[in-house]
Amino acid sequence: SAVISQKPSRDICQRGTSLTIQCQVDSQVTMMFWYRQQPGQSLTLIATANQGSEATYESGFVIDKFPISRPNLTFSTLTVSNMSPEDSSIYLCSVDSTSGSYNEQFFGPGTRLTVL
Amino acid sequence: AQSVAQPEDQVNVAEGNPLTVKCTYSVSGNPYLFWYVQYPNRGLQFLLKYITGDNLVKGSYGFEAEFNKSQTSFHLKKPSALVSDSALYFCAVRDSNRDDKIIFGKGTRLHILP
């Protein structure tokens, strides 16, 4: 299984600022994903981070608000831009297991973001 | 679109008793189903999956799940609950209509009472 780390683990930010979250995987992976988990809610997929091309965003999420970088097969960043209190969530990085497209995903520990 | 439903927001079970966390699915084609657990202040951990084959799937921490095609269910079970099993449990499915992305249910909070 892949080992995924995220930085920071938590942060408290002011309205209108931006935060960049880093995701590092201990092995090369093809597919990396970013999820949001709002308080008391399930996980919602924000986007798929594609290596060498622009991220693919899900309905309701846009690049200007959540720019994503994927410079190589082990690293990705998600930026939460111009934050508002509604952005307070846990943000999770995830990767597909290397054993096949119908298998499980592995998740990082998450970044708990509070926007004041 | 493929989806999973978790009908219970919360389940309370006494320690040592059997537990069941319910999940039903709606898919076209073959279902690829998963259970994940989220302990407080931690990320999601994979428990088990059903891809094909035996309807009873065994996973981590003594959990198992039974795939029932006629009832379109994939309930999570454990014969004897531990207090440490208290957590948030998510059922999930691969959505073949969305490039096989994993779609999560809303989650069920499991409380094991000592």
For the segment B38-97, what is each residue's pLDDT rounded down to a tens digit? Answer: 998 778 999 999 988 889 999 999 999 999 999 999 999 999 999 999 999 999 998 777
Single-letter code of the amino acid located at A106: F
Measure Cα distances from A104 to A99, B100, B108 in Å. 9, 11, 19
Q: What pLDDT, on a 0 to 100 scale, did the predictor assign at position A39?
A: 87
pLDDT digits (tens, 9 = 90+) for B99-113: 778 889 999 999 999
Is B100 in contact with A101 (Cβ distance < 8 A)?
yes
Q: Kindly state the helix (H) or strand (E) to which residue A37 belongs, with its residue range.
A: strand A32-37
- Using CB atoms, pick whichever of A42, A101, A106 lies closest to residue B90: A42
Measure Cα distances from A10 to A81, A86, B40, B51 in Å. 16, 16, 14, 35
Q: What pLDDT, on a 0 to 100 scale, did the predictor assign at position B100?
A: 76
Rounded Cα distance between A21 and A26, Å, is 17
Q: What pLDDT, on a 0 to 100 scale, did the predictor assign at position A81?
A: 97
Phi-psi region of B85 (alpha: psi -120 to 50; beta: other; left: phi over 0): alpha
Nearest-CA distance from B58 to chain A in Å? Answer: 15
Residue B18 has pLDDT above 60, yes or no: yes
Measure Cα distances from A14 to A17, A68, A78, B25 in Å. 6, 21, 18, 40
Do residues A45 and A58 touch, judged by C-beta distance below 8 A?
yes
Cis amide bond preceding B31, omega within 30? no
Rounded Cα distance between A114 and A108, Å, is 18
Phi-psi region of B70 (alpha: psi -120 to 50; beta: other; left: phi over 0): alpha
Q: Where are the alpha helices (DSSP H) in B5-110?
A: none
User: Cα B113 to chain center, whole Å?
Assistant: 20
Residues of chain A with Cβ-Cβ distance to B100 below 8 Å are 101-102
Rounded Cα distance between B48 and B92, Å, is 11
Q: What pLDDT, on a 0 to 100 scale, did the predictor assign at position A26?
A: 93
Which residue positions in chain A have pLDDT lower than 50? none
Is B106 in contact with A92 (Cβ distance < 8 A)?
no
Q: Which residue has the tokens 């307070």?
A: A88
Residue B31: which pLDDT band, with cuts at 50, 70 and 90? confident
Nearest-CA distance from B32 to chain A in Å? Answer: 7
